[in-house]
Amino acid sequence: MLQVAFIQENKEDIIARLAKRNIDATEMINEAIAFDEDRKAIQTKLDNTKAESNSLSKEIGNLYKSGETQKANILKQKTTQLKEITKTFEQELNDKIEALSELLYRIPNVPNPIVPAGNTDEDNEETFREGDIPKLHEGALPHWELAKKYNIIDFELGNKITGAGFPVYIGKGARLQRALIAYFLDKNTEAGYTEYQVPHLVNEASGFGTGQLPDKEGQMYHVTADNLYLIPTAEVPATNIFRDTLLNESDLPISITGYTPCFRREAGSYGAHVRGLNRLHQFDKVEILRVEHPDNSYKALDGMVNHVKGILQELKLPYRILRLCGGDLGFTSALTYDFEVFSTAQDRWLEISSISNFETFQANRLKLRFKNADGKNELCHTLNGSSLALPRVLAGILENYQTEDGIKIPEVLVPYTGFDMIS
C-alpha cells in the first residue's frame, strides 16, 4: 500500500510510473489526495471540539467550586451538545479513513524506473542467459509422458483423489521431489537464510498484509467455515511473521527460507501449455525472504538473483532471466526478475522463479518498521523469491536429462536421492 504522504509529494511521478502498468491512475491518485485532505479537515474539527469541551469542563468545575451553580449548569448543557458533535465527527473521521484505506488497497505498487513499459510477457526484457540446450535423442518425450513411462508421477490418480492439478508422486519421483526440497533448503541455509516452518493456512489479515487480498482473492482457496485461506506461496505466512513489528536498525537484514506446499485455483487456466507439471493447483516450493534497510534492498535483490543463478548452475539446466515489464508486473512488486528454464522436449521456456523487491509497499500494510539512527520509525523494505518452485524445475530435469536408457539425475542431487538414474 502506498503511503499518502508519498502520493502527495510525488503525484505526477506516480501517475507516470503507474502508466507503465497500463493504468491511468489519475482519478485514483486525485481521489486519495482529496480523501486525505477531508480526513485532515475532519480531524482538525474533532480536535478543536474536544479542546473546547475540555476547556468548558474545567470552567464548569471552577464555577461549581465558587458557588456559581446556575452558570455551571448552562455551560454543562453546552458540553452535552459538544459530546454529540464529537461523536458525529468521530464517525465521519472513521468513515473517511475506511474509504481512504479501501482506495489505497486498490492502487498497485509503483514500478521502479528501470521497469520497461509493456503489455504482456512478450515485452519483458531478457537480461541474462546461461547453459547449453541439450540435443535430445530421437523420440524424446515431454515430462508427462516420461512420468507415465517410468511410473514416477500419476496425474490421473491425483485427478481421482482430488481433481486436475493435484498429481501423485511415486517411488523415485517422490524421492526426487524430496531431494530437491532438501537441496534447495540446504543451499539457502548455507547462504545465511534461517529456516522456518510456517502454517499452510492464513487469516484474512495476513492476506491483506502481503497484498494477496483483495487483489488475488479469486485465485486463493478459501476455507469459509473458519475464514482462512490456503497459502498460494510461503511468502504470505513468512512475511506476516513481521506484521505489527518495530525492529531495531541493528536487526536488519533478516533473511529466512522455508518449504511449503502451495495452493492456487488458477481459474481460467487451460490448454496444452498447462499440461503435466506446467501448471498445478497444488505444488511444492522453497522460498527465500528478506527484510531490509531501504538503502540496501536493491543490493539484496541482486544478491538473491545471484543466489538462484548459483543453484541453476549446479543443476546444469539452461535458463534465462527476464526483467518484467509493467504490464506483467505483480500487483505488489516494484521490480521483478523471472527465471525461466528451457524445456527441450516442449521447446519452450518455463518460469521457475520470481524474485521481487516490494520496497515499502508490503511493509506499509504490515506496519513493519524499524527505528533508524535518528530514533525515528521508518518502514522496512521486503523482498522475496522462489528458490525454487519445484514442478517446472522437475519438468526441466526430466526432459533435459532424459536418455534412451532412462533419466539421469543431476550430479549435485545424487547424494540426496541415493540413485543416479530413473530407468
Please enumerate, by residue number, every residue annotated as part of a binding site for L-serine: 233, 264, 287, 384
Q: Tell me what percent of the chain is helix, strand and coil, each rounded to the nearest 5.
A: 50, 20, 30
Q: Are 322 and 338 in contact (CB under 8 A)?
A: yes
What does the alpha-carbon distance between residue 279 and residue 352 come to, in Å, rounded to a whole number?
Answer: 11
User: Around Cβ 70, how many Cβ atoms within 10 Å?
Assistant: 9
User: Around Cβ 319, how many Cβ atoms within 10 Å?
Assistant: 24
Contacts of 151 (CB under 8 A, 6+ apart): 170, 171, 173
Q: Between the CA of residue 51 and those of 43, 45, 83, what are the distances in Å?
A: 12, 10, 11
Kindly report the backbone phi and psi dihedral angles of residue 187, in degrees, each rounded to the nearest multiple of 5, phi listed first: -60, -40
Q: Which residues are annotated as a binding site for ATP?
A: 264-266, 351-354
How, if at all, do strands 368-371 and 245-248 pair?
parallel
What does the alpha-carbon distance between residue 252 and residue 256 come to, in Å, rounded to a whole number?
Answer: 12
Would you state the cell numbers that stand for residue 421, as one nine-digit string? 538414474
What does the alpha-carbon distance between residue 280 and residue 274 come to, in Å, rounded to a whole number?
Answer: 8
What does the alpha-carbon distance between residue 291 and residue 396 come to, in Å, rounded to a whole number?
Answer: 31
Only one residue has cell 480526513, namely 39
**Coil, strand or helix at 209:** helix
Q: Which residues are annotated as a binding site?
A: 233, 264-266, 287, 351-354, 384
Helix axes 297-315, 172-190, angle to 10 degrees: 140
The residue count for the chain = 423
Q: Between the CA of residue 105 and those of 101, 109, 231, what are the distances in Å?
A: 6, 10, 20
Q: Residue 376: how many CA atoms within 13 Å on its side-chain side?
A: 3
